[in-house]
Structure 1
Amino acid sequence: MRGQNPGLGNLNGDEWYRLRSAVQQIMMRPQAVYAYLPFTNQVTQSLINHIKNETQRDGQVDMRRVAGRWSLESAGNTVFEKRLGALGDNIKWADRLVDVNKEIFQLSARMKFGFPFYRYFKMPQWKRMIELEDTFYAEADKLMDEAIEKLQSKENPENLLFASCLINKPELNKRDIKVIMLSLFADGLSTTAPMFVYNLFNIAIHKDIQERLRKEINEAVGKDEAIDVAHLQKMPLLRACVKETFRFFPIGTEISRIPTKDVVLSGYLVPAGTPIDINTNVLMTSPKFFSDPLKFKPERWLRENEKKEQAHPFAILPFGFGPRMCAGRRFAEQDLHVTLAKLVQSFDIDHKHEPIRQIYETLLLPAGDCRFHMKPL
């Protein structure tokens, strides 16, 4: 099965443009993403209940493990329009997929910087990679086939959610649909889930910010009330915290492009076809662009802040930029905003271990003890 379902992000040229064009309108418009708020609220409530059940005797919860389950459950709503049970009856299945995905990224990181023996011999690491990818794709394939069969020929096409709209596009064949679905389903495990952990960590260790956040959220929405668009617009500090966490804990290592024509960059002629890597992580911690760059300061992004920094727009690009910007950006941001708001409202969040660090595993993923104290309020 390996290679039959490449992710959208791994495609280039005309095939990438054709598939990206098919999802552009139904994924990047805010109104399309807002339609998922009721489902996001449901998953968030399941997460709150799950955390209460997962709390150990010492009051701690392994949020790295829980974040993976949450990511799968959220993706199930978007990609398959169904609940997967990753926060309930299907926890063992979810944990297995999370572990398989993690090992794939670990092996990819080792092979990326080692001599590519796998191009000439079937090395043990390469065989293991194929085995893991087959395992992950097999599970995803079952879900995709079920969704395609269930959601085809839905009525009222103008009111369809993302998956239904995608499946009922006549210009897309089954393989096209699976490429897009697989990208959305898998990407959150390695991007949104770790960002969720990083946000919790920053909120946990900055108690003053956590209290300000709780005040802002409680004033915007009732504790037992579902979050809607109007509520989210009243949470500028929350959005600032998420943006500052993107700066403080970047997931990617670079933004890569291959120019189709000669271009001059900083006085250097770069011939067409030359791979270019932009390391924005260096820019995000540079005092040239940010004051106190090694300090977590969400207020730097608040409009009402008299000392609001006018950061260069290209100094922080967590979702990339231009036509290849992450197609799932609005879904990821909405999931983070709603979930973090309700967790801050429902728990006093604390982290009493050594600071969480980052480790290179193809992406920059959490390293260290990710157990959090989650005290119900």
Structure 2
Amino acid sequence: MFLFLLISIFILFLCIQHFIVRRRRREKGNKDFSSKPFSSMPGPPSYPIIGTLPLYIYYKKYSLNRLHWNGRSKEYHWTVFNKEGKYPSRRSHTALAYYRSSRPQKYSTTGLLPTNGAEWRRVRTLLQKPANRTSISGLISSLNLVAEEFVEYMDRHFICVNKDDFLDHLNRVFLEMTGVVTFDTRLNSLQNPLQRILYSKTESSIPYRLIKAAEETNDKILETDNNLPTWKIWETKPFKMIRESQEYIEKISSQLIQDKKSQHMQEDCPRTLLDHWLSSTGLNDKDIMTGAAEFLLAGIHTSSYTFSFLLYHLANNIQAQERLRNECLELKSEFGEISREYLHRAVYAKACLKESLRLNPVSVGVGRILPEDTVLGGYLVPKGTLAVTQNQVICRFAEFFEQPNSFIPERWIEGEIMHKEVDPFISIPFGYGIRQCIGKNIAEISLQVLLMNMVSRFSWSWAGTKDLDTVSLLINKPDQPIRLKFKKID
């Protein structure tokens, strides 16, 4: 009875808040005679409290896990990116923020993902300094060693990689790369027996549990963001999965940080993210642990999903795969090992990655809470409104790209027939401005290094039963197993 009363009071509070906000928006809209009120902006009908949920659940007009389908079916689209403000804000990872704010003994902030305002800017500025391209370039040799090890791993388990969901293997190599760049630690995710790692129901190894924990958190964030926050009243199943996953990631992050503190830093060794953070006077131990945990959370599946789509597009475009292979072999004969100059000269490899990210960006969208009233499409959108741009929708508009649904890397290379200057805001897979993905440089270099190693040793074709699409979770996930047919190259 008491629980029912609490829920009723919570719903009543939301109703009152909803009508107050709508009234203020109408008043603001009526004061500005040069623009139409926000309440008249075209779009799907929205109801108090439940919003547009009936269109998803009852009428089945939209899908909860195919957000890109919803965006393509809507008649009106506007884009706004000039309203960042000093502290770009967004509404995301609300359950993660609630979990962390309830543990002040471990967290001084809720982390880079959910935090807004001045505190976000402080931590972001200090954590991102070692994540710039120059610093990460010093770790290319370490990333290349992992990529070479993965290629040998594929060769040893050749039958399995042709039979398994290849995504399982990619999760392991990107976990290993995250460990190298962030902690200067080999987690040995490519060393343990293959069958036990992938299929054991009682697996207790660190690599397996980290991959599982990161996946469960990412999978449940959007669900907790888009539904009523009942997890603030009692622990729902999705929130429990987030809590248990985060507790394990915290445990491993703290352990790796303590291991790094006990080591003597050698002057001639490239400095990892953790080396830089520990030497920063502006970061406390809680900030460092939060940053390390978020890199483990965000560094595995964002890369493995992105690489899955890249392999898929190259599998269905053999000419592009051959041109990429020829570029790699030429650079290898000139430079030997992969280096900063090697990657700088890999023009076609970068174009392949950029084109794959255009077609299948890992982010569902770029969202901002407007810091001031904004006129958008002739309508006055009030301060505090959440505006979201869906990357996967606008990047397939024919008005921006010729043959928008085709994989054509040449469109990004100057001098090619298909090349055309495109507004830089059209394709922003890593976000925009000072709030763009902090791991952008790490991800791009890691993906390129692994791609160069793989394409020089293997060719591949698509062996799936249908075309690959995405499922909308917190990030865009392949909607089926990654089935590839590999062939060895002499």
TM-score by length of 1: 0.91
Deviations 1:321-367 (A, max 9, x none): 11101111111100111110110001112221223221122211012
The farther-off stretch of 266-275 and 358-367 is 266-275
Structure-2 residue corresponding to 1:116: 229
Matched, 1:9 2:120: no
Structure-1 residue corresponding to 2:54: none
SS in 1 for 2:313: helix
Q: Cα–Cα, structure 1 residues 159 and 214, in superposed 2: closer, same or farther, change >3 Å?
A: closer
The farther-off stretch of 314-323 and 264-273 is 264-273
Structure-2 residue corresponding to 1:104: 217
Counterpart pick for 1:329 among 440, 448, 454:
440
Structure-1 residue corresponding to 2:78: none
SS in 2 for 1:9: coil
Structure-1 residue corresponding to 2:429: 318
Asked if the contact 2:374/2:380 (under 8 Å) is kept, the reply is yes
Deviations 1:209-260 (A, max 9, x none): 1111111111111499320122222221111110000011121121111232
Alignment of 1:1-377 (within 5 A): 2-3=99-100, 4-5=106-107, 6-28=110-132, 30-56=133-159, 59-89=162-192, 91=197, 92-150=205-263, 154=265, 160-222=271-333, 225-354=336-465, 355-377=467-489
Asked if the contact 1:54/1:61 (under 8 Å) is kept, the reply is no
Deviations 1:60-80 (A, max 9, x none): 353201111111100111110
TM-score by length of 2: 0.71
The farther-off stretch of 160-169 and 344-353 is 160-169
SS in 2 for 1:252: coil
**Distance across 1 between alignment mates of 2:391 and 2:487:** 37
Matched letter for residue 66 of structure 1: H
SS in 1 for 2:263: helix
Following superposition, the deviation at residue 146 of structure 1 comes to 2.1
Matched letter for residue 112 of structure 1: D
Matched letter for residue 326 of structure 2: K
SS in 1 for 2:481: coil
The farther-off stretch of 229-238 and 68-77 is 229-238
Following superposition, the deviation at residue 59 of structure 1 comes to 3.9
Following superposition, the deviation at residue 272 of structure 1 comes to 2.6
Asked if the contact 1:51/1:61 (under 8 Å) is kept, the reply is no
The farther-off stretch of 49-58 and 360-369 is 49-58
Q: List alignment gaps of at least 5 residues for structure 2.
A: 1-95, 101-105, 198-204
Asked if the contact 1:61/1:373 (under 8 Å) is kept, the reply is no
**Distance across 2 between alignment mates of 1:101 and 1:205:** 30
Structure number with bigger Rg:
2
RMSD: 2.4
Deviations 1:81-125 (A, max 9, x none): 121111114854322322232222333333333343323333333
**Distance across 2 between alignment mates of 1:59 and 1:155:** 41
**Distance across 1 between alignment mates of 2:209 and 2:363:** 24
**Distance across 1 between alignment mates of 2:356 and 2:118:** 35
Following superposition, the deviation at residue 51 of structure 1 comes to 1.3
**Distance across 1 between alignment mates of 2:340 and 2:328:** 13
SS in 2 for 1:56: helix
The farther-off stretch of 37-46 and 127-136 is 127-136
Matched letter for residue 339 of structure 1: L
Q: Cα–Cα, structure 1 residues 125 and 322, in superposed 2: closer, same or farther, change >3 Å?
A: closer
The farther-off stretch of 44-53 and 96-105 is 96-105
Matched letter for residue 249 of structure 2: F
Q: Cα–Cα, structure 1 residues 131 and 260, in superposed 2: closer, same or farther, change >3 Å?
A: same
SS in 2 for 1:8: coil
**Distance across 2 between alignment mates of 1:95 and 1:204:** 28
Asked if the contact 2:358/2:427 (under 8 Å) is kept, the reply is yes
**Distance across 1 between alignment mates of 2:478 and 2:162:** 21
Asked if the contact 1:223/1:346 (under 8 Å) is kept, the reply is no
The farther-off stretch of 313-322 and 253-262 is 253-262
Q: List alignment gaps of at least 5 residues for structure 1.
A: none
Q: Cα–Cα, structure 1 residues 307 and 124, in superposed 2: closer, same or farther, change >3 Å?
A: closer
Q: Cα–Cα, structure 1 residues 258 and 142, in superposed 2: closer, same or farther, change >3 Å?
A: same
Deviations 1:152-188 (A, max 9, x none): xx47599744321211111211111112222222211
Identical-pair percentage:
25
Matched letter for residue 259 of structure 2: E
**Distance across 1 between alignment mates of 2:475 and 2:162:** 30
Asked if the contact 2:162/2:483 (under 8 Å) is kept, the reply is no
Q: Cα–Cα, structure 1 residues 10 and 123, in superposed 2: closer, same or farther, change >3 Å?
A: closer
Q: Cα–Cα, structure 1 residues 313 and 357, in superposed 2: closer, same or farther, change >3 Å?
A: same
Following superposition, the deviation at residue 306 of structure 1 comes to 3.3
